[in-house]
Amino acid sequence: MKPMERVVILGGGSAGWMAAAMLARMLGPSLVITLVESEQIGTVGVGEAAIPPLQLFNQALGLSEAEFMSATAASIKLGIQFEGWGGAGERYMHAFGQVGKDLGLTPFHHYWLQAGEETERFWDYSLNEQAARAGRVLLPSPPQGKMLGGLVHAYHFDAHRYAQTLRRYSERLGVRRVAGEVVRVPLCPDSGQIQALELADGQRIEGELFIDCSGFAGRLIEQALGSGFEDWGHWLPCDRAWAVPCEGAESIAPYTRSIAREAGWQWQIPLQHRIGNGLVFSSRFQDEQSAKESLLANLPGKPLAEPKLLRFRTGRRRQPWLRNCVALGLASGFLEPLESTSIHLVQSGIMRLLKLFPNHGPMDSLAAEYNRQSQREFEQVRDFLILHYHLNRRDEPLWQHCRSMSLPDSLSHKLVLFAEQGRVLRDSDELFTEVAWVQVMLGQGLRPQQAHPLAAALSPAERRDYLGHLRTIVMGTLQGMPSHRAFLQRYCPQAKE
């Protein structure tokens, strides 16, 4: 069996450079890696909010947190605040990390449910939510908060600067970058595998494995190989977004805002030097012009550019690994940015590829396993996103439609189990934790009919003591934290570009 010698990556967006950096780091000098990108086509230019596992990706690259945050003008993200999803004036947070503390086998939310009216809001037991609302951050967390797992954080960051940082990193490790547009993709007549990428200027780049990071176009996986696309637009109806940066404010919120609007939702992502904004909407329920006006009328600061329109389809590539081509990023499918999962899906696709990395030779069984795992992951994230839309309590036509639409069986089962019994069913390797599901379901008004019987093992007095003790820890931990901006200035002030 010959080892793999040449890998060719098409695309220099976040997905392409993340893949180049990690492959170069892990597979090192044994592999010749070439990345092709077209400056004329450019990148999608959005994607600025992450979830906590990105820390692991950077650690695996040996990129320190302060270095990453400084290079990308990043801020800390402790969760996502959903505003107006449960109806006008309502808001709740999907905060990262724990809420309260489980006792033995019984998740915390059952004790909270047992306590009924006599206790505080569910989120008053979340260190992340309380710190986010107070605008405070300290890493590592003050030691008092250890019992509650400390603050769990992700980032808001400038995705363009991240790609540039990873480009420099990859080039230092020997990745060759070729600028130019791929115009032809010859296939082997026997195996149907990709032989090479042919560029407009006549260059031909050969390889044994091709990684398609060409964005929505899926230049290799779809246009050359015809993988097919499973469309989930009937469950996730948004198919457009306007995006525009605006001036930042003195105080930097350590959370993303997701504000429900007439036919979609608006994001606000605060970085050190500006705020990223966008309106994700459904073209079936709102036209492009009125969506643009709605975004511009609701910016938290002066716009810094012309709004950019993005059109997309929600769904997944049927075979993200087909023959000798693996698609990552937008080329592999897209789930809208409601829970900031796309860059994470790039990361987990790269890690999965590394685990299943082929020799030069037959790779169909590896591809089948890759596709099975990636389908499950996409479906799990899809269900979590649909949950937000389905449990809304708004009146506009899009929202009424989402309340009455039929759901995937996997999600219906989860909802019934929670509504009737307060239990959350999930696979052990699912991205979203039990308490993430609980927060969205409670936050959007689904309160279980009963709690777990084990929660009744605490007498009312013991339960009061326990909940009171947890509140004292949360409040004590907050006392020791500086403001988010003060923390950023000390830890990772943005680097000059």
Ligand X SMILES: Cc1cc2nc3c(=O)[nH]c(=O)nc-3n(C[C@H](O)[C@H](O)[C@H](O)COP(=O)(O)OP(=O)(O)OC[C@H]3O[C@@H](n4cnc5c(N)ncnc54)[C@H](O)[C@@H]3O)c2cc1C
The residue among 177 and 393 lying less far from ligand X, judged by its C-beta, is 177
Secondary structure (3-state) at 434: helix
Element (H, E) at 398: helix 397-404
Given the DSSP bridges, would you call strands 308-311 and 321-322 parallel, antiparallel or unpaired?
unpaired
31, 6 contact by CB (below 8 A):
yes
The reply to whether 339 sits in an annotated binding site is: yes
β-sheet bridge partners, residue 199:
182
The reply to whether 343 sits in an annotated binding site is: yes
Count of Cβ atoms closer than 10 Å to residue 469 Cβ: 11
β-sheet bridge partners, residue 76:
155
Q: Which residues contact 79 (CB under 8 A, 6 or more apart)?
A: 93, 94, 95, 96, 128, 129, 132, 255, 256
The residue among 350 and 367 lying less far from ligand X, judged by its C-beta, is 350
The residue among 36 and 99 lying less far from ligand X, judged by its C-beta, is 36
For residue 474, the minimal CB distance to ligand X (Å) is: 28
For residue 181, the minimal CB distance to ligand X (Å) is: 4
The residue among 319 and 342 lying less far from ligand X, judged by its C-beta, is 342
The reply to whether 16 sits in an annotated binding site is: no
Q: Can you say whether the dihedral through the CA atoms of 288, 292, 293, 294 is positive or negative?
A: positive
The token pair that represents 44 in the structure block: 């999608």
For residue 101, the minimal CB distance to ligand X (Å) is: 30
Q: Which amino acid is at 456?
A: A
49, 337 contact by CB (below 8 A):
yes
The residue among 221 and 470 lying less far from ligand X, judged by its C-beta, is 221
The reply to whether 12 sits in an annotated binding site is: yes
Q: Which amino acid is at 230?
A: E
For residue 451, the minimal CB distance to ligand X (Å) is: 35
R_g of the chain, CA atoms, integer Å = 23
Strand 240-246: give its sheet, edge to edge: 91-95, 79-83, 256-261, 264-270, 275-281, 240-246, 308-311
- Count CA within 13 A, CB hemisphere, residue 435: 23
User: Quick one: which of 162, 210, 201, 206 has its CA closest to 179?
Assistant: 201
The residue among 10 and 385 lying less far from ligand X, judged by its C-beta, is 10
For residue 125, the minimal CB distance to ligand X (Å) is: 27
For residue 15, the minimal CB distance to ligand X (Å) is: 3
CA distance 202 to 39: 17
Please give the distance of CA 103 from its chain centroid, rounded to a whole number: 30
The residue among 47 and 254 lying less far from ligand X, judged by its C-beta, is 47
The reply to whether 209 sits in an annotated binding site is: no
Dihedral pair phi/psi, residue 352, rounded to 5°: -65, -40
The reply to whether 50 sits in an annotated binding site is: no
- Count CA within 13 A, CB hemisphere, residue 254: 29
The residue among 130 and 256 lying less far from ligand X, judged by its C-beta, is 256
For residue 225, the minimal CB distance to ligand X (Å) is: 14
Alpha helix stretches (DSSP H) within 75-233: 108-115, 127-134, 159-172
For residue 335, the minimal CB distance to ligand X (Å) is: 9
Q: Which is the catalytic residue, given 2, 77, 146, 308?
A: 77
CA distance 343 to 145: 29
The reply to whether 178 sits in an annotated binding site is: no
The reply to whether 182 sits in an annotated binding site is: yes
The residue among 37 and 124 lying less far from ligand X, judged by its C-beta, is 37
CA distance 444 to 441: 5
Element (H, E) at 268: strand 264-270
Q: Which residues contact 163 (CB under 8 A, 6 or more apart)?
A: 12, 13, 14, 16, 17, 43
Positions that interact with ligand X (CB under 6 A): 10-16, 36-38, 41-44, 46-50, 159, 181-182, 213-215, 217, 219, 241, 243, 278, 310, 312, 329-331, 337, 340, 342-343, 346
Respond yes or no: is residue 77 known to be catalytic: yes
Count of Cβ atoms closer than 10 Å to residue 251 Cβ: 11
For residue 174, the minimal CB distance to ligand X (Å) is: 20
CA distance 344 to 50: 7
The reply to whether 89 sits in an annotated binding site is: no
Q: Which residues are annotated as a binding site for L-tryptophan?
A: 339
Catalytic site residues? 77
Q: Which residues are annotated as a binding site for FAD?
A: 12-15, 182, 330, 343
Q: Which residues are annotated as a binding site?
A: 12-15, 77, 182, 330, 339, 343
